[in-house]
Amino acid sequence: MDCVFCSIVAGETPAEVVLETDVLLAFLDRRPVFKGHVLLVPKAHHVTLPDLPAELRDPFLAAAQRLATAMVDGLGAQGSFVAMNNTVSQSVPHLHCHVVPRTKGDGLRGFFWPRRPYAEGEAAAYAERLRSVL
């Protein structure tokens, strides 16, 4: 299987990890909507939310809640945007939840997601800020 998220979970592809449990991994999106944008994935390969086993539903949602809180506590955001695509618009066929820091007037409109790349070394600083409050 050629899945970039499975490769990140396996440690074969580098990522700025902000949260890890026995069954989940959260890391910074390489092409963030806003800096601090996190992707939460189950470590086991499941393609869509309907594929997620029942025993992972609560841990997955609990981690998404923690990440949404970290956007405010760690990054100073006013809130967050939390979303998942299932098949349509799913850029990687591995279940992932986007947790994006939001601020009033940030310019995000609907589902058009302009991307804002990190400067050299900046991703590590954002990851550390989130890890420190998780």
Q: What angle do CA 114, 41, 38 make, to 5 degrees?
A: 35
Q: Give the DSSP H or E segment for 127.
A: helix 122-133
**Among 37, 46, 94, 96, the one annotated catalytic:** 96
Half-sphere exposure of 19 (CA within 13 A, CB side): 26
Half-sphere exposure of 127 (CA within 13 A, CB side): 18
C-alpha span between 82 and 128 (Å, rounded): 20
Biggest CA–CA distance in the chain, Å, is: 41
Active site residue 94: no
The residues annotated with a catalytic role in the active site are: 96
